[in-house]
Amino acid sequence: MNRVGIISLFFCFLILVGCQFGESTEEKMYNHLEEAVALEDQFREQQEPLAKAEKKEQGLYDEIVALSMDEFDKIKSLSEEAEALTEKRLEYLNNEKESIDKAYEEFENTKELSEDLEGEVQKSANTLIEKMDKRYEAYQTLYKEYKAAIELDKKLYSMLQDKELTLEQLQEQIKSVNDQYTKVSEQKEKFNTYTTEFNEAKKAFYKAAELNVNYGE
């Protein structure tokens, strides 16, 4: 069974030096942008426990498929344990989404501010906003696809607790799970791409705005 975890997002943490915050539109935008980064802390914090839950769940699945029906009691026990892990993964996923949504809400404060900019600075700000909008949209789809994958996993483990389960039913469900994780993988790639493009656009905006920024990379 294929396993595709949700990606981690690593924003460049930035320090604005030598400016009086709030003095200019560019600085106000900077504050909102970096506050959005901070609000994604919870998103990043979910990556490790989510990955551990996925790995443990995969291990349980590998144990299950190695058993025969003569060991049904053990299959049932392991399936119940794996099913409980799907609930934990869903909890981590929802925490991620809450973090992303809050960060985007903060980011939206930059849109009205960008209207007061001019020339290349405004152009770079518009590119920044476009990239973030696409990134946020990509995450919403990623969330939807990954949630669906978790639900299919949960159904699979529930089915494995049924002694009357047929091989055909099992194979059909495993195919559904694998097909869904393919969608997750494709959407993850899109989200990664937009994240990279957004980070590049943010650097370009700070440069165009002539903000004295040190990049802590």
pTM to 2 decimal places: 0.85
pLDDT computed for residue 117 by the predictor? 87
Mean pLDDT calculated for residue range 48-72: 93
Compute φ and ψ for 108, nearest 5 degrees.
-60, -20
> Confidence class of residue 23 from pLDDT cuts 50, 70 and 90?
low
Is 7 a residue whose pLDDT tops 70? no
Is 200 a residue whose pLDDT tops 90? yes
Mean pLDDT calculated for residue range 122-145: 96
- For residue 11, what are its two tokens? 């924003």
Instruction: Work out the burial of residue 150: count CB atoms within 10 Å of its CB; fewer than 13 is exposed, 13-18 middle, 19 or more buried.
Output: buried
| Residue 46: CB atoms within 10 Å | 22
- For residue 181, what are its two tokens? 């994780």
Three-state DSSP at 15 gives: strand
pLDDT computed for residue 13 by the predictor? 40
pLDDT computed for residue 123 by the predictor? 94
Q: What is the average pLDDT score of the chain?
A: 88
pLDDT computed for residue 215 by the predictor? 60
Percent of the chain with pLDDT over 70: 88
pLDDT computed for residue 212 by the predictor? 75
Mean pLDDT calculated for residue range 147-158: 97
